[in-house]
Structure 1
Amino acid sequence: MPRLARLRALLAITAATAVLAGCTGEVVLTADPPTDVTIGAATQDPPEGVTVLEGDGATALAIAASEAYFASAEIVVITPPEADAQLRAASVATTLGLPVLVTGEEGTADAVATELERLGTRTVLVTGGATLPELAPDRPFLRAVPAPDDLDGLQVVIGRDLAGEVVVQAGGEVAALASAQEPFDWLLVPPSDSPAASSDSAEPTEEATRNLADLPGLPPFRAPERLTTNALVSDGGDGQIAAVGTARAAGAGVVVTTDLASDPNAIATLFGLGADRIVGVGDVGDPQTFAYRARVAATGVDLPGGGQELLDGKVYVGLRGAPGAPELGSLGEQDASATLERLRSLAGSAGGGSSRVVPTAVLLTTVASATPGSDGSYSGKRTLADVEGFVDAARDAGVSVLLTFQPGRQSMVEQVALYDEVLARPNVGVALEPGWRLQPGEVPGSQAGVVAADEVNAVVEHLAALTDAQALPPKMLLVRLATDGTVSDPQNIDASRPQVGVVLEVDGGGVTPPAETEAAPEDPAAPAPVVVTSSEIWARATALPWNGPWGWAQGSTEVTASELFALSPSPVVVTYP
């Protein structure tokens, strides 16, 4: 027989004995007033989409969680603000399906009272000696039921069987609540509150039973219908314990992470929950960025190289060109299947220190032309079908693709928008070659293009909108600098969008070939050969007013991977012609 059933049986015998003993002058125990069995609380879905709980401190966050997840609650659990007290209260609340509020923080009593009034609360389960707030004079009487610290007493008061206690170390409270599984019948306790539990077979003593018989209990109630397709994302802070307990009580799954975009376990958990309503609590970043990252994480889609973080811990190594066009670069020197295999081999041998190396196809999608073409843009365009076929094969092979644009007289964003259907793939980003962006009257090969940051930013804005609207992982925007002045004001490029990772690529074509230096004439009167090293080119380029990441485009003189990754800052993209 379960422990609580045995306790109830003995309590019934004890109560009957007390009644019979009334004629001898002993106190007659009376039962709690009979009431109808009602639902203890009514849950509600938080706002659709992604929201963030606002508030500073445990009390404010607990109230915010209650407002988000509960429409009403005739019974509420209250707790002091200390982490160990919050843990016990949140554990009990999760078991019962009730909200938990925090009392005792300075200046918060009125806010707690207001929330109790909104919920229509009539009974509070007081844990840890929490203080009771004063309600408005016109409110009905608020019945306070103390929650015993011992397991047997707690079971009698709440009217539920508990399987036992689970000790939770300090700092792990939120994670323990997040991992709790239905039917939530284990009580989570801090180490200091975990005396050795008696075995389930031990019979309660008569003295313990008499004490238990004196305990007031909660009115009979049914647990609420718990929510589905709801998730709460927490950074695990101890001020959130009560709020997390309320979310679990309502039925929300909880994901604990300090960086959602780079945490594969958190992404997998959020995806598994199938949540269409996500709430953030704690240090989850600004609300707009969190909303984007949470929606992306809920898709479970990975970027090439793993995870949903574009640049953190990754180096992209690739070939440039176009399939079927060997004259445009090494990407087209073999068929598509052989190209993808060559890319994987190149990435495997490139190194990059401890970074994950991502094979990358820098796919020439539009190519500057000496003739205007039918649209007068002086830029030839690959068909969508041609690009899609290569992109899909690359996705299956784990290869990243950068659609590369030489826009001629057409604006860069106008060209990029032509390929939105392809850009909807998560493995596709964009590379711009503004050196081929020409003004009216100019033709490719006769002038070098120069653009302002505004034109690059138009592409940033377009990619950000596309990516955000479709909940896609962030996209790379690689901007190749043919000269130091290719972008007239690089400091004004917008690198603030979480949906777009902007990288400036340095042209390494000016590195002096070692053979040329060795073949220098020995005539003392001849001028000394000019030696240009990769570090000199890198230092000059990275002195530009740009604080973002950098890439390196190999020239005819190839710089070794070890030399490149020794540069400071180390390049995050390396492309081969």
Structure 2
Amino acid sequence: MVNSVIVGDSGGMAGRQLREPRGPRAARRGPRAWCLLLVALLLTACTGAVDLEADPATEVAIGAATQAPADEAVLIEGSTPATLALGASRTYFARAGIVVIAPSGDDAAQLRAASIAMVLGLPTLVMGEEGTQDAVVAELERLGTHTVLVLAGADVPELSPDLPFLRAVPAPEDPAALQVVIGRDIAGEVPVPAGTEVAALASAQPPFDWLLTAAGTEASDPTSDASPTDLADLPGLPPFRTPVRLTNNALVSDGGAGQVAALGTARAAGASVVITSDLREDSAAIAALFGIAPTHVVGIGAFGDPQEFSYRARVAATGVELPGGGQSLLDGKVYVGLRGSAGAPELGSLGEQGVEETMDRLLALGSTTASSSTVVPTAMLLTTVASATPGTDGSYSGKRTVEDLLPFVEAARDSGVSVLLTFQPGRQSMLEQVELYDELLRFPNVGVALEPGWRLAPGEVPGTQSGVVAADEINAVVERLATLTTEAALPPKMLAVRLATTSTVSNPQDIDATRPQVQVVLEVNGGAVTAPVEEAAPLPDGTLPPAAPVVTAADIWAQATAVPWGSGEGLGWWGWAQGPVQVSTPELFGLDPSPVLVVYP
């Protein structure tokens, strides 16, 4: 099972209330201010009114400026705390006069730095990691940083000689002293057990006034280490306003190591965090993203390449799930169903009853299938049917209209049934026919099944020849489905290709099975399975005829799967089309590899 951790309420976490000091100015105001006022009053009483020089104005600037990620979905690349922190800073902040600096190799310090950054609304960078010092300096220069809050053990970066002096302010370990230095109240400390740092950062809630500390570190007593005089002597950050934090932004993390500083930066900027190892299968993560309604999603961790993550993130944010749950087509699922056309019993079992009764039959069929995987009831719906007559368009292929098929597709969607629009294209290209049904393909539960054996060349007539197609014609449909699915942010589509023989596709190794938006399934025709003859009639001479060879499902399966079909990860996906002699379910699921699609005629 895939678990997810989403943004939650941390208001119940226990900690000490520390709100006595209220920043450096509160610590430093004392009798001196009252003495100056008294002297001024005495001067006025003795000599009359005098003009006193005004105190110099103190400009309270915004400490940082957040920015929305550059694209709708962004994957932060990197694997170490410093590189990930740099990626988060570049993604979420346009400038930052003040930056929190944490040391490399110190998980506790990085957690503390991330927590402080969340309180202040500032980015966190990690200093000291080999090979990243120049990149950290370049990021500080891009941000226009003039002050760094440095945790113990971290080096202070040196900027270019022609840039302004970088002021370094130590971050005290004592919470009361830290309040004075940062000019913000801290409600208390929350101990975080090792291994749960990412979850703790994800579940923290505004106003982020609890300080997250590594469990096992000794908590400081705010009254024992520093007297009021000591607090008054502490160097503090320049006065600044917390930046406007982003809304409707999400960061998806796989919870991997080294992400703490980066997540602190993301949360400081206003992003919500969802933790999951697989966006495709994790229904809780999908629901969490949908609830956030993000305009931008950022990924950090092992989520494939940036383009694949962008697609997965956009789809997950819709909250739409496939039949059987999640947004993954095949992992942990097997599709079992019927073939035919609604209202046409002569074309198969799918049309032997009304639409509502068909849904009930499909659901019952799925519930009785012996498989350890989630069984998804499936309708292989004949959408175009090869014909012996050319028809009005000369295609030798009759077509059901979108309006005619729409009630069936809607009923299937409402019942949790998967639909494969099935095409027998005659003399038309498969792409020409598939494009006619874009409206139906926008339903998340609808995919495509191609029957290349009914794809004929000019001059050929269905029923007299068996069609043979090249992989590029199938790939044109793959491209169309990938484009449609990406543009509409739909979950991936199944594309089943039915093989009348192993030569139905002339160059099978060129089938494109690399797209995350389309899962290609090769469907083996089980019609060649023959039952053993129990008792043959003797010949006129009294002898028995030679026994006809018995063709088993294992024979057909082994022959088909031995062919080097397809390229990429889709290579191992196969389906089985039951023939007149039907193979038992236990026998089918005992094949190697086990079929992911089983269709009854």
| 2:327 partner amino acid | Q
CA drift of 1:282 comes to 2.6
Query: Is it true that 1:381 corresponds to 2:399 in the alignment?
Result: yes
Q: Deviations over 1:239-273 (max 9, x none)?
A: 22212211111111122222221222221222211
| 2:175 partner amino acid | L
Query: 2:551 pairs with 518, 532, 541, which one?
Result: 532
| 2:364 partner amino acid | S
| 1:231 partner amino acid | A
Q: Is the 8 A contact 1:48 1:276 kept in 2?
A: no
Query: Is it true that 1:176 corresponds to 2:200 in the alignment?
Result: yes
| Distance in 2, Cα, partners of 1:243 & 1:568 | 44
Q: Is the 8 A contact 1:520 1:529 kept in 2?
A: no
| Distance in 2, Cα, partners of 1:413 & 1:205 | 77
Query: 1:136 pairs with 131, 138, 160, which one?
Result: 160
* Match runs of 1:403-482 below 5 Å: 403-482=421-500
Q: Is the 8 A contact 2:111 2:214 kept in 1?
A: yes
Secondary structure of 1:571's aligned partner: coil
Query: 1:322 pairs with 321, 334, 341, which one?
Result: 341
| Distance in 2, Cα, partners of 1:289 & 1:521 | 62
Aligned to 2:216: 192
Q: Per the alignment, do residues 325 and 206 of structure 1 end up closer, same or farther by CA in structure 2, a change over 3 Å counting? A: closer
| 1:100 partner amino acid | T
Percent identity of paired positions between Structure 1 and Structure 2: 66
Q: Is the 8 A contact 2:24 2:180 kept in 1?
A: no
Aligned to 1:23: none
* Match runs of 1:490-569 below 5 Å: 490-513=508-531, 516-521=532-537, 524-546=543-565, 547-569=571-593
Q: Per the alignment, do residues 420 and 250 of structure 1 end up closer, same or farther by CA in structure 2, a change over 3 Å counting? A: same
Query: 1:53 pairs with 68, 76, 80, which one?
Result: 76
Secondary structure of 1:517's aligned partner: coil
TM-score after normalising by structure 1: 0.92
Query: Is it true that 1:332 corresponds to 2:347 in the alignment?
Result: no
| Distance in 2, Cα, partners of 1:4 & 1:169 | 22
Q: Deviations over 1:329-376 (max 9, x none)?
A: 0000000000010000000001222x1000000000000001000000
Secondary structure of 2:336's aligned partner: strand
Q: Is the 8 A contact 1:320 1:331 kept in 2?
A: yes
Aligned to 1:38: 61
Query: 2:361 pairs with 318, 342, 346, which one?
Result: 342
| Distance in 2, Cα, partners of 1:205 & 1:246 | 32
Q: Is the 8 A contact 1:39 1:222 kept in 2?
A: yes
Contiguous gaps of at least 5 residues in structure 1: 21-32
Q: Deviations over 1:12-47 (max 9, x none)?
A: 689748999xxxxxxxxxxxx983322111111121
The number of aligned residues is 556
Q: Is the 8 A contact 2:98 2:149 kept in 1?
A: yes
Q: Per the alignment, do residues 3 and 9 of structure 1 end up closer, same or farther by CA in structure 2, a change over 3 Å counting? A: farther
| Distance in 2, Cα, partners of 1:558 & 1:481 | 17
Q: Per the alignment, do residues 545 and 3 of structure 1 end up closer, same or farther by CA in structure 2, a change over 3 Å counting? A: closer
| Distance in 2, Cα, partners of 1:281 & 1:12 | 40
Query: Is it true that 1:299 corresponds to 2:322 in the alignment?
Result: no
CA drift of 1:61 comes to 2.4
| Distance in 2, Cα, partners of 1:473 & 1:46 | 24
Aligned to 1:80: 103
Q: Is the 8 A contact 1:434 1:487 kept in 2?
A: yes
| 1:94 partner amino acid | M
Q: Per the alignment, do residues 4 and 11 of structure 1 end up closer, same or farther by CA in structure 2, a change over 3 Å counting? A: farther
| Distance in 2, Cα, partners of 1:531 & 1:518 | 11
Query: 1:126 pairs with 132, 135, 150, which one?
Result: 150
| Distance in 2, Cα, partners of 1:250 & 1:40 | 12
| Distance in 2, Cα, partners of 1:12 & 1:313 | 61
* Match runs of 1:92-171 below 5 Å: 92-171=116-195
CA drift of 1:138 comes to 2.6
| 1:36 partner amino acid | E
The Cα RMSD (Å) is 2.3
| Distance in 1, Cα, partners of 2:144 & 2:23 | 34
Q: Per the alignment, do residues 135 and 9 of structure 1 end up closer, same or farther by CA in structure 2, a change over 3 Å counting? A: closer
| Distance in 2, Cα, partners of 1:545 & 1:91 | 54
| Distance in 2, Cα, partners of 1:159 & 1:426 | 52
| 2:587 partner amino acid | E
Query: 2:417 pairs with 399, 407, 431, which one?
Result: 399
CA drift of 1:571 comes to 0.3
| Distance in 2, Cα, partners of 1:480 & 1:9 | 73
Secondary structure of 2:153's aligned partner: coil
Q: Per the alignment, do residues 468 and 19 of structure 1 end up closer, same or farther by CA in structure 2, a change over 3 Å counting? A: closer
Q: Is the 8 A contact 2:248 2:293 kept in 1?
A: yes
Secondary structure of 1:77's aligned partner: strand
| Distance in 2, Cα, partners of 1:176 & 1:196 | 18
Q: Per the alignment, do residues 13 and 161 of structure 1 end up closer, same or farther by CA in structure 2, a change over 3 Å counting? A: closer
CA drift of 1:405 comes to 0.3
Q: Is the 8 A contact 2:18 2:187 kept in 1?
A: no
Contiguous gaps of at least 5 residues in structure 2: 1-15, 35-55, 566-570
CA drift of 1:8 comes to 5.0
| Distance in 1, Cα, partners of 2:493 & 2:226 | 69
Q: Deviations over 1:60-98 (max 9, x none)?
A: 322222122112112110101232221110111011100
| Distance in 2, Cα, partners of 1:13 & 1:480 | 79
| 1:427 partner amino acid | N
Secondary structure of 1:518's aligned partner: coil
